[in-house]
Structure 1
């Protein structure tokens, strides 16, 4: 049974309210060192492990390291964002905020800004480690590699915000990972070229954003300049992140149990 929370007329999207929401989320995360460690350190640790798994074959690391540099941030941001946002939903924090003159857009923008700031730090550290610490050899600009890694992390943030609406516990939030992340991981072209897949799977791969994230990384790996395919990949990944954020706003309800 649900009861309506008194509604306050909504104001247009406000930069001040979005920044205030982002600040509140960051202050809460500051007291959760495990989440910060998961977001910032785990991608770096995984890259180090991958580098020394292929210690005798640096070419293999070069060929898949760039792709995983985009995949690791996406996965970690998905996990942390989905769990952190679920806590806000189940504790009633989101509903209390929505009873105030705070629009859904302000909330989503605030959460996206907070986790996006962490995504910038995460992507910068992972990219720097891969290029200058682990010797990842790329033909293109490191800044392009960082751009794709950042967009991948933001996509993971958007997906985490969205799926948190459909879980009632942290365990359920983690269970969404096999449904949302694993199919993309298998079909993104990391394990086999997409063109060699069964046609139906190739068609599914063509609509999954991780496929374009991996392809964008490979474009930087192989080409010294910005290519048309790279621009397409970046636009698609960014567009998917914005679309999922918009869908996430529709899951915010002004009702309480």
Structure 2
């Protein structure tokens, strides 16, 4: 792994994204609009205050997963990755460069989404606002790394969408969005403990109600980080140079 090559890869990706206004809008604007739609849907009810933190985990996670996986897959299908790897660029440099680039975009995405939810939609946060941003950022980075991992196994953009039921939907169903995890059957609760999005939602809810100490939040962030790191390592090992 070479830091200069990793930074060069990240710079190339950010340049490509900057010249694609639709992708920029999807990354930075759409998550906030979806949060706003949920807030509007449950206007004059306490529901948004209950599920708002989970929405800050859900929408950025899904969008980062889709954008990252499709962008990485296109590098393989176009032959760009094969040409890059013929140079002194390792798979680790490529994966880490993509992770860094989309991680920086995730910083902007998380900041905008949290600011919109709190400042415009009226989401009430009893805990630290900066801690909420940190957890939302970790969640978006998690979506990025899982998207990189999914792209290593997909051959077409359609297959990336097909991976949604395997990578994303179980985490949405068991993450505590539809039903608090402590009210789930014991088996499903145990399964949800092994799904990273569950820990992101738990951490965001804990910050929102200021119901746990900083040690608990830090533990949840470490779990999210461990999942993200594992996805990066596995993605770099399984990444193919080209998709036939």
With normalisation by structure 1, the TM-score equals: 0.91
Q: Deviations over 1:155-187 (max 9, x none)?
A: 000011110122211111112112210100000
Equivalent residue, structure 1, for 2:234: 247
Q: Tell me by how many angstroms 1:224 deviates.
A: 7.2
Alignment check: 8 A CA contact 1:108 1:249 kept: yes
Task: Look up the match of 1:103.
Answer: 90
Unpaired runs of at least 5, structure 1: 1-12
Q: Which of 139, 158, 176 is residue 152 of structure 1 equivalent to?
A: 139
Contact map agreement 1:95 1:256 (CA 8 A) in 2: no
- Superposed, which structure 2 residues align to 1:230-245 within 5 Å? 230-245=217-232
Distance in 2 (CA, whole Å) between partners of 1:256 and 1:85 is: 11
Matched ranges for 1:105-184 at <5 A: 105-184=92-171
Q: Is the 8 A contact 1:141 1:224 kept in 2?
A: no
Q: Does 1:211 align with 2:211?
A: no
How far does residue 32 in structure 1 lie from its aligned partner after superposition? 2.1
Shift of the alpha carbon at 1:63? Answer: 1.1
Please say which structure displays the higher CA radius of gyration.
1
Show the counterpart of 1:22: 10
Q: Which residue of 1 aligns with 2:36?
A: 48
3-state DSSP class of the match of 1:79? helix
Of residues 10, 17, 21, the one that matches 1:33 is: 21
- Structure 2 CA distance, aligned partners of 1:202 and 1:153? 23
Measured against aligned partners, the alpha-carbon deviations of 1:200-251 in whole angstroms (never above 9, x if no partner) come to 2111101000110000001101117743321111110111111101111012
Is 1:67 matched with 2:67? no
* 5+ residue gaps, structure 2: none
Q: Aligned match of 1:196 in 179, 183, 190?
A: 183
Structure 1 residues 69 and 256, CA gap change in structure 2 (3 angstroms): closer
Aligned residues between the structures: 244
The answer for the alignment partner of 1:223 in structure 2 is 210
